[in-house]
Amino acid sequence: MSALSRRRVLFGGAAVSAGALLTACTSNDPGTDAQVKTNSSGDANAAPGTKVVIGFSAPAADHGWIAAITNNAKAQAGAYTDVELKTVEAGADAAAQRAALATLIAQKPTVLVMLPHDGKELNATGLEAMRAGIPVVNLDRAFPSQAAYRLQIKGDNFGMGLAAGDYIGAQLKAKGVSNPIIGEIPGIDSLELTQERTQGFNTALAAYGFKVANRRPAEFTADSGQASATALLQALPKMDALWNHDDDQGIGVLAAIKQANRSEFFMVGGAGSKAAIDAISADNSVLKATVTYSPSMASSAISLARLIGQGKGLNDLVELQVPKQITLASETITKENAAKYAKLGF
Amino acid sequence: MSDPSASAGTATGGDPVLRLTDVVKTFPGVRALDGVQLEVRAGEVHCLLGQNGAGKSTLIKVLAGVHHADSGEISWLGEPFAPVTPQAAMRAGIATIYQELDLVDDLSVAENAFLGHEQSRFGFTRRRSSAASTRQILARLGHPEIPPRRLVKNLPAAGKQIVSMARALSHDARLIVMDEPSAVLAHDEVANLFRIIRELTAQGIAVIYISHRLAEIREIGDRVTVLKDGRTTAANLPARSTPTRELVGRMTGRSMEYVFPPRRPAPEAEPVLVVEGLTRHGEFADATLAVAPGEIVGIAGLVGSGRSELLETIFGARRADSGTVTMDGRRITGVGAAVARGIGMAPEERKSQALLLDEPVYKNMTLASFSGFAHGGFTDTRDERAAALRTADQLELRPRDVDRPARTLSGGNQQKVVVGRWLLGGTKLLLLDEPTRGVDVGARAELYQVIRGLADDGVAVLLVSSEVPEVLGLADRVLVMREGRLVHEAPAEELDEDTVLDLVMAGSLLEGEPA
Amino acid sequence: MIAEAVRAKSPRQIDDGVIRNLGLVGVLIILVIIGIVTRPELYSDPTWVRNNVLTILQQASAIGVVTVGMTFVIIGGGIDLSVGAIIALSGVWATTLATQSYGAAGMIFTALVVGLAVGVVNGVLISYGKLVPFIATLAMLVSARGLAAQISGKQTQVSANATINDIASTKLIGIPLLVWILAAVVAAGWVLLNRTTFGRRTVAVGGNPEAARLAGINVKRHTLMLYALSGICCGIAAIMLTSQATSAQAAMANLYELDAIAAAIIGGTLLSGGRGTIVGALFGVLVFSTITNLFAINNLSTEVQNMVKGGIIVAAVLIQQFRYRSLTQLLKR
């Protein structure tokens, strides 16, 4: 082989490996139960109503979080006697999902729930379904057109950073640390969601007059988390607090902390994996809290789709219909409330 | 002996377009051109004759701008001429058609014809006008039937040659150099080639024609210039009337006599190597030969006669289609078996096939035997170096330094390293392919001594060379190979150079005798 | 007379390799000096400095082991793009619940066997299937990661085995076990390359495969063995990484192939084969590991870090070409 063609390896290899990067953003313990909300019997909305056929489409599970989305949707639908769930695999890309959705729309479901590959690329499909009289519930990845959905329910990346920053700020203030050294381990730095999380984090810290002392991005994998954390710990011989964006890479971060024999600081996680929640409630490591970005949104989407299909509103709201936009608050899980969240861990 | 001014009357009387005077070109260790005289006139077919290594290829490349002459004068159309690049030569009107046609298989006929000077406007190729121009040129060559848009890979060999000529004409070439153009052609295609050449010369274009086939030279050539050892030994001989004996004499006449070591009467011994009916389709057929210990057997043949392929097949480096090779009664099926049975080979391309150029001499010498020096898989470089040094002394390697990278040695000493490799391995049969290629004249005699010395020590040697004197002087017994077949066998003493040359080039030389 | 000449080893031979390694040591020293100048308060603490050196070595250990295997493959005239993928597959296979039930020995055995097996497949495809190494190992990169994802269900597999997890935190005579493993692999690699017939064959096969073949060396079998060796190194690295991260997943050891190739090259290994040094490759890995450390202690972005790494690769190769040219010119005189 010529030297030239070998040199191309460097680029070709990079492209291929980049594809493998995103395979496991978050962990998913195989044994975990799905996140299902069972309505209490006193709730008027719990009573079986008119039969609702819900069409559901999400990308094929390319990592644990997506797998949890699909599992949750199926489990939540199973909890209702008046809901029939029709799922179609969305395939590998937006085009495949469009094709799958076209056949689904032709079957005239009462409501359509979808997590699109890409909000922009499936905007037209959303419009088409809405025009055909099928309300669309969009999960997590927004359509640009307001007319393309009836309800959008999504997580909050900026809010995650905000929540983590708030928790760290409040804790340090309570301890009376005036000039704290704060570390941050984001995920893949070039992703928009990472940048939003970091912006939220910095915004919250600024309110306390704090800032990040060192920031070492990882790649959402445990081994990269270990490497980044090792470098960070070496750079900051003394640290007060650490936010790690992702509980999956957090496995490696925690390993690195243990290997370096460090314990003078506390750590906040991100996403809300079951392992992280268990560690928080056990309270035997530096991990004291994690901020959620939960796939439970899929369960809620099914519940709300059922209400939309039956023309019902949310009981506690004055309005007679389900709202159009719901952004989930990023919740902070600590030892105190960990038990409550245990079943939401994925 | 050389007499460049021996100019005879010529058939064509055009003005000289190209004149070379005392052109010299040296490469490290080789004086490839050593005073070449050449005069080519407009509208003539000027033939270049010479043995392999006489300097024909180098001369062509100097004219084509690939190599640059060290000294001497070249004048082209009355002006001093020193092309810096092939493009410059092309632009000046000298086109070269190489033996391996340098066409791009996946481009069309038109694209090939205008390769390097595409007709374009604002960077976009003008396909329509290129095609039209190409069609015109092809018509001029008498081949209007070749579609300009056809991919070159879909043309037969003769068609490709037409495209090469079309390329030459697309440059408005005034001189076309053809390096063995008939080698790739069938008989009737050669006739067509000659028709085209005649049409070109009728238009005043000069042609330098190189061929081994004397019959062709007689038919198409006007004048002949003969090269030998990089020198012009005869210039401007009339192509049709010069006797064959004279042409051959000018080709082979020695400017220097090699000193060959004396032969000893070969001991009557059973052959170690026996080859029977060995065949590789398209390369050689039905080769049968035997070599005894202490005997040097030489194979004489031209490049492309199948001799190197035969040697490599005996060594197991190529798989035979049929026939057998046995060494000491055991079948040889692959290189591993050959080496294990005591066969060694010094291949034709020393640098690309035999040497680790950046590694020290001793590691090159022990390449086939380092495992034997090793203890439990651990190499013993101390023993290796000592043994290599002993062999270096035996072969009189210079400089006497086995740690020096092989790259830094001269050609002759590199060859000694390769021979030494097999001596260290205790080789019983040595296969030598062009052992003195790239070795300067002085070092050759030494190599001949080394090879004869090996034979005297009981090693069987099978040697291939395109230098007939070398085969005759060194070998005990000579096999002549032509077009894949062993056509003659005789003790070396019973042969002379002319006879062997006749046999090697049979079908051309003798047929080419003037009427 | 012969004995004398044998003893008087030509200086040229030693110079080439030593000078190259000295150059890399120089780069390391410069990097450390930059660290001292930019973060004097850290470097004033001897405990921190000691810790930092061990950290750099420890973070270089897994990739260092991979680079030793890669160096052999490149010297032998090949390339292995699949090392990261082999680590991922070995790591994932070694941490399935089924494998973990066999304990630490079972996990280590699995990682090594999987690495060896994948390496053998690479070798067979290249030697006997006559695939270009680039293509064969590129295909292996994709498919081994795919198989790893399949086995793991794309999830992070946590190692529950305390013995495995403790490898990363164990120290012997104050030095991390991972660093000892690296030292052992480098030492073994050096001996293998410079003192054994295997190493001699590697140089011959990579330097001039035709010459090696015509000298009776079984080039195909040796090429196969080189990829198998690289596979075993990946298996060892998989255990090391799994221990460090206390888990394995299909995306682990991302882009390790690039880091290993780059380290081998700046260590003086010729990408076209036939020449290279194990010690140089080790220094190459240490240079990268030290750069990562330097950028971390100065809180500089990883983007700039990658640009600097790229610059060092180019500079190292340019310097080598220059030196090689001037060396050959010197010898010609």
Do A128 and A240 fall into the same domain? no
| Residue A8 belongs to some domain of the structure | no
Q: Which of C45, C158, C251 is closest, CB to CB, to A24?
A: C251
Verify whether the Cβ–Cβ distance B363 to C6 is below 8 Å.
no
Chain C positions in Cβ-Cβ contact with residue B404 (cut-off 8 Å): 10, 12
Q: Which of C203, C213, C328 is closest, CB to CB, to B317?
A: C213
| Close Cβ partners of B90 (under 8 Å, ≥ 6 residues apart) | B65, B116, B117, B171, B173
Q: What is the mean pLDDT of residues B342-351?
A: 89
Verify whether the Cβ–Cβ distance C156 to A237 is below 8 Å.
no
Question: Tell me: the pLDDT tens digits for C152-204?
Answer: 877 889 999 999 999 999 999 999 999 999 999 999 999 999 999 999 999 99
Q: Which of C71, C50, C47 is nearest to C276 (CA)?
A: C71
Do A108 and A80 fall into the same domain? yes
A319 pLDDT more than 60: yes
Does an H or E element contain B263, and which?
none
Other C-beta atoms closer than 10 Å to the C-beta of C233 total 32
pLDDT of residue B255: 44
Do A134 and A184 fall into the same domain? no
The encoded tokens of residue A307 equal 């209400």
Percent of chain A residues past pLDDT 70, beyond the cut: 87
Instruction: Give all domains of chain B, ordered by start, each with its CATH number.
Output: 1-93+174-255 (3.40.50.300), 107-172 (no CATH), 273-504 (3.40.50.300)
Does an H or E element contain B379, and which?
none
| Most trustworthy range by pLDDT among B202-216, B261-275, C98-112 | C98-112
Verify whether the Cβ–Cβ distance B403 to C198 is below 8 Å.
no
pLDDT band, residue B398 (cuts 50/70/90):
confident
A32 pLDDT more than 80: no
Q: What is the mean pLDDT of residues B304-310?
A: 85
Q: Which of C59, C155, C272 is closest, CB to CB, to A64?
A: C155
pLDDT of residue A188: 87
C257 pLDDT more than 90: yes
Other C-beta atoms closer than 10 Å to the C-beta of B491 total 12
3-state SS, chain A, equals: CCHHHHHHHHHHHHHHHHHHHHHHCCCCCCCCCCCCCCCCCCCHHHCCCCCEEEEEEECCCCCHHHHHHHHHHHHHHHCCCCEEEEEEECCCCHHHHHHHHHHHHHCCCCEEEECCCCCCCCHHHHHHHHHCCCCEEEECCCCCCHHHCCEEEECCHHHHHHHHHHHHHHHHHHHCCCCCCEEEECCCCCCHHHHHHHHHHHHHHHHCCCCEEEECCCCCCHHHHHHHHHHHHHHCCCCCEEEECCHHHHHHHHHHHHHCCCCCCEEEEEECCHHHHHHHHHCCCCEEEEEECCCCHHHHHHHHHHHHHHCCCCCCCCCCCCCCEEECCCCEEECCCHHHHHHHCC
Q: Which of C197, C210, C212 is closest, CB to CB, to B379?
A: C197
Q: What is the CATH number of the domain that holds A258?
A: 3.40.50.2300
Q: What is the mean pLDDT of residues A116-136?
A: 91
Do A47 and A61 fall into the same domain? yes
| Residue A39 belongs to some domain of the structure | yes
Mean pLDDT of chain C: 89
Tell whether A150 lies on the interface with C, counting CB pairs under 8 A. Answer: no
Q: What length does chain C have?
A: 333
Does an H or E element contain B488, and which?
strand B485-491
B196 pLDDT more than 80: yes
d(CA A309, CA A52) in angstroms, rounded, equals 6
Mean pLDDT of chain B: 84
The one-letter amino acid at C205: V
pLDDT band, residue B500 (cuts 50/70/90):
confident
pLDDT band, residue B112 (cuts 50/70/90):
confident
Q: Do chains A and C touch (3 or more CB pairs under 8 A)?
A: yes
Chain A positions in Cβ-Cβ contact with residue C149 (cut-off 8 Å): 20, 23
The encoded tokens of residue B464 equal 């291939």
pLDDT band, residue A40 (cuts 50/70/90):
low
Q: What is the mean pLDDT of residues A301-325?
A: 90
Question: How many domains does chain A divide into?
Answer: 2
| Residue A12 belongs to some domain of the structure | no
**Least confident window among A284-293, B317-326, C103-112, C298-307:** C298-307
Do A241 and A300 fall into the same domain? no
| Residue A124 belongs to some domain of the structure | yes
B53 pLDDT more than 90: no
C18 pLDDT more than 80: no
Return residues 252-291 of C near A (CB < 8 Å): 252-255, 257-258, 261-262, 271-272
B16 phi/psi in degrees, rounded to 5: -65, 130
Report whether B480 contacts B451 (CB < 8 A): no
Do A186 and A287 fall into the same domain? yes
Do A200 and A235 fall into the same domain? yes
For B436, what's the count of Cα atoms within 13 Å in the CB-facing half-sphere? 24
Tell whether B374 lies on the interface with C, counting CB pairs under 8 A. Answer: yes
Verify whether the Cβ–Cβ distance B370 to C200 is below 8 Å.
yes
Residue B399: cis peptide before it, omega within 30 degrees of 0: yes
- Measured at the CA of C268, the angle between CA C266 and CA C270, to 5 degrees, comes to 105
Question: Tell me: the pLDDT tens digits for A210-228?
Answer: 999 999 999 889 999 999 9
| Residue A263 belongs to some domain of the structure | yes
| Residue A2 belongs to some domain of the structure | no
Q: Which of B56, B62, B58, B93 is nearest to B77 (CA)?
A: B93
Chain C positions in Cβ-Cβ contact with residue B382 (cut-off 8 Å): 6
d(CA A219, CA B64) in angstroms, rounded, equals 58
d(CA B330, CA B469) in angstroms, rounded, equals 34
Sign of CA dihedral B295, B300, B304, B305: negative
| Residue A221 belongs to some domain of the structure | yes
What domain range is A212 assigned to? Answer: 157-292
Do A252 and A288 fall into the same domain? yes
Instruction: Give all domains of chain C, ordered by start, each with its CATH number.
Output: 2-332 (1.10.3470)
**β-sheet bridge partners, residue B71:** B24
Mean pLDDT of chain A: 85
pLDDT of residue B142: 80
pLDDT of residue C37: 94
Verify whether the Cβ–Cβ distance C254 to A226 is below 8 Å.
no
| Residue A232 belongs to some domain of the structure | yes
**Least confident window among B229-243, B373-387, B416-430:** B229-243
**Neighbour subunits, C (≥3 Cβ pairs < 8 A):** A, B
pLDDT of residue A42: 57
d(CA B194, CA B190) in angstroms, rounded, equals 6
Do A234 and A257 fall into the same domain? yes
Residue C309 CA from chain centroid, whole number: 16
Location of structure tokens 């001989």: B237
Is the pTM higher than 0.80? The answer reads no
Strand B45-49, strand B206-210: pairing? parallel
Question: Tell me: the pLDDT tens digits for C207-244?
Answer: 999 999 999 999 999 999 999 999 999 999 999 999 99
Report whether B462 contacts B275 (CB < 8 A): no
Q: Which of C2, C208, C332 is closest, CB to CB, to B390?
A: C2
Do A109 and A199 fall into the same domain? no
Do A130 and A210 fall into the same domain? no
Chain A positions in Cβ-Cβ contact with residue C257 (cut-off 8 Å): 9, 13, 17
Nearest CA in chain C to A252: C245
Do A242 and A264 fall into the same domain? yes
Q: Which of C58, C59, C252 is closest, CB to CB, to A221?
A: C252
| Close Cβ partners of A111 (under 8 Å, ≥ 6 residues apart) | A52, A53, A54, A55, A134, A135, A136, A137, A150, A305, A306, A308, A309
Question: Tell me: the pLDDT tens digits for C273-282?
Answer: 888 999 999 9
Q: Which of B287, B295, B329 is nearest to B312 (CA)?
A: B287
Tell whether C3 lies on the interface with B, counting CB pairs under 8 A. Answer: yes
